[in-house]
Amino acid sequence: MRQTVRMPTFARVLHTVVAGALVVAAGHGVAGAAPSGSAEGPWAGGPEGVQAAGAALADGFTGTVVWGREAHTPVPIASIAKVMTAVVAIATGDLERPVTVPAEAGAYCAQHNGSTAGLTAGEVLTARQLLYALLLPSGCDAAYAIAESFGPGQAGFLGRMNDTARVMGLGATQFTDPSGLPNPTDDSTHSTPAALVALGVRAMALPAFREIVAARDHHVPADHDNREHHWETTNKLLHEYPGAIGLKTGNTNAAGHCLLFETVRAGIPLIGVVLHSSDTSSAVARDDATRILNWAYDPVLSALAPIGVR
């Protein structure tokens, strides 16, 4: 049986936000639009039609989980693991470091059927450029190159990922691969919905990370040390949902299609995750995220519509 949790705090937090906005709006004649009803108010019942086996939505101000399904159950997380890979690399403060793509990176992707950013062995890119390759097209070759350079080596880098998870207090979280690939087993890299939204809040507090995951595409011109690259995001929510600003998709056979996402509407940031929305379609994960976000935002936006807030 799926465990679904609804937090009364959410209704209180959003009711307070709306009420504050409506106090300002009183002069426009819309003060009577404040939501009414039970403590849960218009958020009673939770979002409908969500297919994900695990999910969580958090208030982006505090990171407090406001709705969840199996929020504390550890499951495979696929390429959402690359968020931690990026966080560890950014924490070094050395994003202009030149990184040579190892010859082993291509074979690593092929062995585990991982997505690639089209990197070529021996070409040299900065760590910052590799983060775009990591987070937009979800390049496992970029993850391998980053880990090799910053670890130093894969084992060293994985140790840093797991140490960072412990420092952040991410319970039931383990990384055995910098890409989140099924290496050495399907579920050896795992986390929980609640831990992933906490990781997302930490990651989005980093300006470099926030800038990268908000990009729909990124171009690297050819230079004497590298080929030309043009990377596009796999995050369909960025193209299709108002206020979307990130973050990361994921997909393996064990994890299914997953999405860690953040949006800001009416000045309210929300961060959420859906895990194993579908075995076959990233669109289902996008639709799950949309349903959760609409459930949270629609009552607020309806209340603020008279003053033109979106």
State the catalytic residues: 79, 82, 138
CB 58 within 8 A of CB 270: yes
CB 234 within 8 A of CB 140: no
CB 148 within 8 A of CB 154: yes
Backbone angles phi, psi at 106, to 5 degrees: -65, -45
Alpha helices in the chain (DSSP H): 8-25, 81-91, 104-111, 127-135, 140-150, 153-168, 193-204, 207-213, 237-240, 282-304
| Encoded tokens for 225 | 């040390």
Q: Which residue has the tokens 């596009």?
A: 232
DSSP symbols for 244-304? EEEEEEEEETTTEEEEEEEEEETTEEEEEEEE---SS-HHHHHHHHHHHHHHHHHHHHHHH
Q: What distance in Å separates the CA atoms of residue 307 and residue 145, rounded to the nearest whole number?
A: 50
